Copies of this chain bind each other. A is one copy, B any other.
Amino acid sequence: MAGQDYTGALPLRLLAEQFAKLPGIGMKTAQRLAYFVMSYSDEEAKAFADAILHAHKTVHSCKICQNLTDREICPICSDAGRDRSTICVVEGPKDVSAFERTREYKGMYHVLHGLISPIDGITPDKLRITELLKRLQGGEVKEVIMATNPTPEGEATAMYLSRLLKPLGVKVTRLAFGLPVGAILEYADEVTLYKALENRNEI
């Protein structure tokens, strides 16, 4: 009965295993979370389980931008006040949240749901690229901003899409990389510093 992972009860171990499936949560943390849920009232436990089922059932990709939403068309795509001539292409839904927090960007988004990474088996056909091309057909879109991370996969995806989209007559831009605001030169890594130098602006 007393094993390496003794947790007192099988249902508790099963719950801990569910928590351990989540990214960044190891078995020890997962056990702690499972014990914590045991201190919930019946209503709280039900609310947690229902939140999982409800979110999983009702949330899907927006038909236009592919961001996660519980409507057919997400609030951003259905907002008449936004600039439809610009599409910001991002890796995932959390990048949309990040840009929205700036409260400055008023254009549209397109969520790829991943980055090209052949080593992980993620080829361009696994991403929502066809859906992006379809949005460019009307001629309404003037600029596509590549807002993928400055990682090898992010750069490769931006490059790939840029080559794919330019022949369609659309302006393709890339996020500026340089010193983060408030940074101290001395502590900046060399790649960032090089990017900051390369992309310098006249003042």
Contacts and interface: CB of A to CB of B under 8 A. Distances in A.
A46 B18 CA distance: 11
A94 interface: yes
Contacts of A103: 2
Interface string A33-56: 111111010100111111111111
Interface in A93-111: 93-94, 96-97, 100-101, 103
A10 interface: yes
The DSSP consensus for interface residues of chain A is: helix
A32 B94 contact: yes
B31 A94 contact: yes
Residue of A5, A54, A76 ringed by the most chain B CB atoms within 10 A: A54
Nearest to A4: B101
A167 interface: no
A85 to B, nearest CB: 19
Given A68-B9, A75-B2, A55 B14 contact: yes
A95 to B, nearest CB: 11
Query: How extensive is the interface on chain A, given as a class?
Result: 35 or more
Interface string A3-22: 01111111110110110011
B15 A92 contact: no
A58 interface: yes
Contacts of A31: 94, 97
Contacts of A148: none
B56 A37 contact: yes
B45 A53 contact: yes
Interface of A: 1-2, 4-12, 14-15, 17-18, 21-25, 29, 31-38, 40, 42, 45-56, 58-59, 67-71, 74-76, 79, 92-94, 96-97, 100-101, 103
9 contacts: A6-B96, A8-B69, A8-B75, A9-B69, A9-B71, A15-B55, A38-B56, A40-B56, A49-B53
